[in-house]
């Protein structure tokens, strides 16, 4: 009878204590099945059966009758609390937890906290790793207070554990609290507001969730068209400081590094790679065996375990992440160095890997040449995979959200990276098949992952699921980096196809990521729609930021205004520029690419013979504000007859971008007279710098025509507060000369980093 009376009171009071976000259901969902209840009646002086931790059942007070659980926190170094036994739940289901609390003193500023931990293990199994977390902070009150926590279980959740703490948020807080009438019931729907990673509400409205795979016609026709703003499309992309500071540079050392990486992979090539395990040294894949060429597969792709350095998920070789060897800013990427050098070997190898990606793409009739010919025993024609690539799964993987990936199944966020590589191949080679392949992917694979949208700050956002949608698949699996990767693919294809629905989807995915950053102050792994969000996992921040920068460039090129998003992207960029976002052992490190471009980027070109002397040129793109710019270089001795004059002019030019696509760069020249020793030590220019500023150092030295054999780096220094910062340039290798000159530096950076010209004739 007591339990029935309490439930009636709970039902009457719920609407008064639950904060609702805009767009949330105003009426409380009908009470469902009670899956757990604890009256804290016995044993007096101890904890209920199965509970652990601190606290005891007392008889001096209670909500309905004078019995309740009292927990005292007198520790300044820990959080005393009581934890329930494991309670069975269903995955991706909605629950309401209700509980009465009170205290007889306010302690020293802490709060009462109720925590719900989620586990993939059942109550009959040992507790495994926590896969989800929700909590409720309760103000301290001297009278009994009804509290409600609404939560949604994760895709793999099989049990929960409830924790009760009297004085939380800072171990220095102390106090005691009483707890009574703890109940968990099923709910008909999610009635809790959208919460960020710290548990604070995120106000959204007009939310529509349709978690099912759709035909491309239904999905894309459901999308509005992004407006085209001529003022945006006619503005030079280099006029945006954020794009200049990140993209306006050339890494002239890349050709040598890429050649060395691919030579190593060729030297360790496998005649037989299929179903072969990579050798290990301890827990690490032997370095020379981590990524190797497979001679037994058409187009000689690069195969690796996964991850390539540990084989944690699978130690078996497979052609995965081929896109990284084509169009990523890493030491193996061929398309950038092909463009920088015009080298035939780079061009041929890039062509092989692009051909392999065409070979491994699923077709309209569900065929896949790579899967069918190379792994025939594992091939099944699957039309639903149309446009995707067989690029990862040679093992069946149960992911953290509860979906098991099938052998050879495409996943759209990794495949979105493949689409990027194919579009870049089209832009840099003119081969339209790359764009066609990427279009197939965006058109047919994205609709498999459900339709999710809403309004935040009055503007529409979209999000796409981590796993294919529909049926019993996980559906509450929003992940920040997935939104960014898919946004980039949609923006790139939308730009070239002039498809304003794809552009709108890319814009809305970007807006979702802006919402996540504003809400959380960084990009955690999970999104707010994901019940695992409050684990605040840190791992893929750069896999959000870098794709969003690309996405922004393509949207702006297509005339999609981003005035609302660019300030947040800039703040996020500067946060990660400073933040040491991961921990390796006890040594924090700055995530790539900021380990390389923290203060700026520089490149020193190969010396150019102008008919009378050697011209030396170096460029510097600033990535922060500073004062007192200095330039330093070692003047080369380029021929036996060459001799350096006692003094010579050194010119430092600030290059100012045009505001429109038809405008010209302008120059502010500052010329100084320096001795060779002064240039080696650093010439003070007196100039200040701002993020995105581009400077050119140039001077001439006498000599004779001939070949240069080596070249030291140049250095650009500046003052940042009381510190002196120095950025050293990359330099080319004589063995891998580049086509970069003082006149082509900016155009090459544009070609390598910014959207290619839209192809008007492409339908």
Question: Contact, 484 vs 544, CB < 8 A?
Answer: yes
Q: What is the mean pLDDT of residues 733-740?
A: 93
Cα–Cα distances in angstroms (integers) from residue 449 to residues 37, 54, 203, 215, 413, in the given order: 37, 45, 24, 11, 10
Q: Nearest 5°: phi and psi at 509?
A: -65, -40
* CA separation for the pair 717, 725 (Å, rounded): 6
Identify the pLDDT of residue 134.
Answer: 83
Question: Contact, 624 vs 599, CB < 8 A?
Answer: yes
**Run of H or E residues at 671:** strand 666-674
Residue 124 has pLDDT above 60, yes or no: yes
The closest alpha carbon to 500, from 117, 223, 152, 264, belongs to 223
Measured CA angle at 276 (ends 274, 282), to 5 deg: 150
Burial of 660 per CB tally in 10 Å (0-12, 13-18, 19+): exposed
Residue extents of the structural domains in the chain: 2-193, 216-595, 607-731
Query: What number of residues does the chain have?
Result: 763
Torsional class of 40: left (φ above 0), alpha (ψ -120 to 50), beta (otherwise): left
pLDDT tens per residue across span 169-206: 777 788 899 999 999 999 866 656 788 988 888 999 99
Average pLDDT of every residue of the chain: 89
pTM: 0.84
Q: What is the mean pLDDT of residues 336-360?
A: 97
* CA separation for the pair 255, 734 (Å, rounded): 11
**Residue 685: which residues within 8 A CB-CB, separation 6 or more?**
628, 629, 630, 631, 652, 670, 672
Identify the pLDDT of residue 590.
Answer: 65
pLDDT tens per residue across span 300-319: 999 999 999 999 999 999 99
pLDDT tens per residue across span 694-727: 999 999 988 878 777 778 999 999 999 999 999 9
Strand 397-398 to 404-405 pairing:
antiparallel
- Give the model's confidence band at 130: pLDDT under 50 very low, under 70 low, under 90 confident, else very high: confident
Q: What is the mean pLDDT of residues 87-101?
A: 92
Residue range 216-595, CATH number = 1.50.10
Q: How many other C-beta atoms lie within 10 A of the C-beta of residue 675?
A: 15
Residue 25 has pLDDT above 80, yes or no: no
Percent of the chain with pLDDT over 90: 74
- Give the model's confidence band at 227: pLDDT under 50 very low, under 70 low, under 90 confident, else very high: very high
Q: What is the mean pLDDT of residues 259-282?
A: 96
Residue 6 has pLDDT above 60, yes or no: no
Q: Which two tokens stand for residue 69?
A: 């659980």
Greater model confidence, 29 or 192: 192
* CA separation for the pair 434, 411 (Å, rounded): 19
Using the structure block, give the residue that is written with the tokens 């009465």.
Answer: 100
The closest alpha carbon to 552, from 330, 237, 168, belongs to 237
The closest alpha carbon to 319, from 287, 359, 377, belongs to 359
Q: Which two tokens stand for residue 168?
A: 């939380």
pLDDT tens per residue across span 514-526: 999 999 999 999 9
Q: What is the mean pLDDT of residues 602-616?
A: 92
Residue range 2-193, CATH number = 2.60.120.260
Q: What is the mean pLDDT of residues 533-553?
A: 92
pLDDT tens per residue across span 462-477: 999 999 999 888 888 9
pLDDT tens per residue across span 669-695: 999 999 999 999 999 999 999 999 999
Cα–Cα distances in angstroms (integers) from residue 634 to residues 616, 638, 642, 715, 727, in the given order: 10, 12, 14, 10, 15
Identify the pLDDT of residue 401.
Answer: 85
* CA separation for the pair 114, 556 (Å, rounded): 46
DSSP 556-575: HHTT---TTTHHHHHHHHHH
- The DSSP 8-state label assigned to residue 123 in this structure reads T
Using the structure block, give the residue that is written with the tokens 């003022």.
Answer: 231
Identify the pLDDT of residue 108.
Answer: 59
Q: Which two tokens stand for residue 696?
A: 């050119």
Identify the pLDDT of residue 639.
Answer: 55
Greater model confidence, 170 or 72: 72
Sign of the dihedral defined by the CA atoms of residues 372, 374, 376, 380, in that order: negative
Q: Which two tokens stand for residue 192?
A: 């809790």
Identify the pLDDT of residue 7.
Answer: 32
| DSSP H helix total and E strand total for the chain | 18, 34
Identify the pLDDT of residue 131.
Answer: 85
Q: Which two tokens stand for residue 504?
A: 């709108």
Cα–Cα distances in angstroms (integers) from residue 7 to residues 101, 135, 219, in the given order: 16, 22, 44
* CA separation for the pair 53, 47 (Å, rounded): 8
**Residue 611: which residues within 8 A CB-CB, separation 6 or more?**
none
- Give the model's confidence band at 23: pLDDT under 50 very low, under 70 low, under 90 confident, else very high: very low
Residue 678, classed as helix, strand or coil, is helix
- Give the model's confidence band at 13: pLDDT under 50 very low, under 70 low, under 90 confident, else very high: very low
Q: How many other C-beta atoms lie within 10 A of the C-beta of residue 472?
A: 10
Identify the pLDDT of residue 189.
Answer: 64
Percent of the chain with pLDDT over 70: 91
Identify the pLDDT of residue 642.
Answer: 56
Identify the pLDDT of residue 191.
Answer: 53
Identify the pLDDT of residue 168.
Answer: 84
Greater model confidence, 274 or 401: 274
Q: What is the mean pLDDT of residues 261-279?
A: 96
Q: Which two tokens stand for residue 318?
A: 């497979």
pLDDT tens per residue across span 477-514: 999 999 999 999 999 999 999 999 999 999 999 999 99
Q: Nearest 5°: phi and psi at 237?
A: -65, -30
């Amino acid at each position: 009878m007591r339990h029935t009376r309490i439930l009636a009171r709970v039902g009457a009071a719920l609407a008064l204590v639950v904060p609702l976000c805009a767009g949330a259901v105003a009426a409380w969902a009908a009470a469902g099945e009670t899956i757990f209840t604890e009256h804290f009646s016995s044993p007096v002086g101890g904890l209920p059966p199965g509970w652990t931790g601190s606290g005891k059942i007392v008889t001096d007070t209670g909500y309905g009758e004078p019995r309740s659980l009292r927990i005292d926190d007198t520790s300044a170094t820990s959080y005393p609390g009581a934890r329930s036994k494991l309670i069975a739940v269903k995955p991706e289901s909605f629950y309401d937890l209700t509980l009465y609390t009170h205290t007889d003193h306010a302690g020293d500023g802490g709060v009462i906290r109720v925590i719900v931990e989620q586990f993939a293990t059942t109550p009959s199994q040992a507790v495994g790793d926590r896969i989800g977390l929700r909590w409720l902070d309760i103000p301290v009150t001297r009278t009994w207070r009804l509290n409600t926590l609404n939560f949604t279980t994760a895709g793999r959740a099989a049990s929960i554990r409830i924790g009760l703490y009297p004085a939380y948020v800072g171990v220095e807080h102390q106090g005691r609290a009483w707890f009574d009438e703890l109940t968990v019931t099923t709910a008909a729907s999610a009635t809790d507001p959208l919460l960020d990673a710290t548990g604070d509400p995120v106000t959204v409205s007009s939310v529509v969730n349709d978690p099912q795979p759709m035909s491309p016609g239904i999905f894309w026709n459901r999308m509005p068209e992004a407006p085209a703003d001529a003022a945006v499309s006619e503005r030079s992309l280099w006029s945006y400081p954020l794009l200049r500071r990140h993209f306006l540079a050339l890494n002239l050392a890349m050709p040598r590094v890429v050649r060395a990486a691919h030579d190593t992979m060729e030297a360790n090539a496998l005649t037989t790679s299929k179903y072969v395990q990579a050798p290990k040294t301890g827990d690490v894949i032997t370095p020379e065996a981590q990524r190797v060429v497979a001679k037994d597969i058409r187009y000689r792709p690069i195969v690796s375990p996964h991850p390539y350095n540990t084989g944690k998920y699978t130690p078996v070789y497979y052609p995965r992440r081929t896109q990284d060897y084509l169009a990523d800013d890493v030491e193996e990427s061929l398309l950038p160095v092909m463009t920088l050098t015009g080298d035939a070997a780079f061009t041929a190898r890039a062509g092989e890997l692009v051909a392999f990606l065409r070979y491994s793409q699923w077709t309209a009739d569900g065929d896949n040449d790579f899967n069918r010919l190379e792994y025939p025993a594992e091939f099944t024609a699957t039309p639903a995979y149309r446009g995707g690539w067989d690029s990862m799964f040679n093992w069946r993987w149960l992911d953290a959200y509860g979906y098991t990936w099938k052998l050879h199944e495409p996943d759209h966020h990794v495949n979105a990276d493949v689409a990027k590589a194919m579009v870049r191949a089209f832009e840099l080679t003119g081969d339209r098949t790359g764009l066609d392949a990427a279009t197939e992917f965006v058109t047919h694979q994205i609709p498999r992952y459900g339709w999710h949208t809403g309004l935040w700050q009055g503007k529409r956002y979209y999000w796409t699921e981590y796993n294919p949608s529909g049926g019993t698949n996980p559906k509450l699996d929003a992940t920040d980096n997935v939104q960014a990767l898919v946004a980039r693919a949609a923006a790139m294809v939308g730009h070239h196809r002039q498809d304003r629905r794809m552009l709108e989807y890319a814009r809305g995915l970007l807006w979702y990521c802006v919402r996540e950053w504003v809400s959380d102050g960084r990009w955690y792994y999970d999104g707010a729609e994901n019940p695992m969000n409050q684990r605040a996992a840190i791992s893929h921040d750069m896999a959000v930021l870098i794709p969003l920068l690309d996405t922004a460039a393509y949207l702006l090129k297509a005339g999609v205004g981003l005035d609302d998003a660019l300030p947040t992207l800039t703040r996020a960029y500067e946060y990660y520029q400073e933040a040491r976002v991961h921990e390796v052992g006890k040594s924090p490190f700055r995530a790539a690419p900021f380990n390389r471009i923290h203060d700026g980027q520089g490149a020193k070109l190969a010396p150019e013979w102008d008919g009378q002397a050697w011209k030396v040129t170096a460029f510097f793109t600033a990535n922060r504000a500073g004062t007192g710019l200095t330039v330093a270089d070692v003047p080369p001795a380029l021929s036996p007859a060459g001799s350096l004059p006692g003094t010579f002019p050194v010119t430092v030019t600030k290059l100012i971008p045009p505001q429109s696509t038809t405008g010209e760069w302008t120059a502010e020249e500052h010329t100084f007279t320096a001795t060779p020793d002064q240039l080696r030590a650093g010439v003070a220019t007196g100039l200040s710098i701002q993020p995105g500023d581009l400077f050119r150092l140039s001077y001439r030295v006498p000599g004779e025509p001939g070949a240069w054999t080596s070249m030291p780096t140049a250095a650009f220094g500046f003052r940042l507060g009381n510190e002196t910062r120095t950025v050293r340039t990359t330099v080319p290798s004589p063995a891998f000369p580049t086509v970069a000159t003082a006149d082509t530096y900016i155009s090459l950076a544009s070609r390598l980093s910014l959207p290619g010209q839209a192809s008007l004739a492409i339908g």
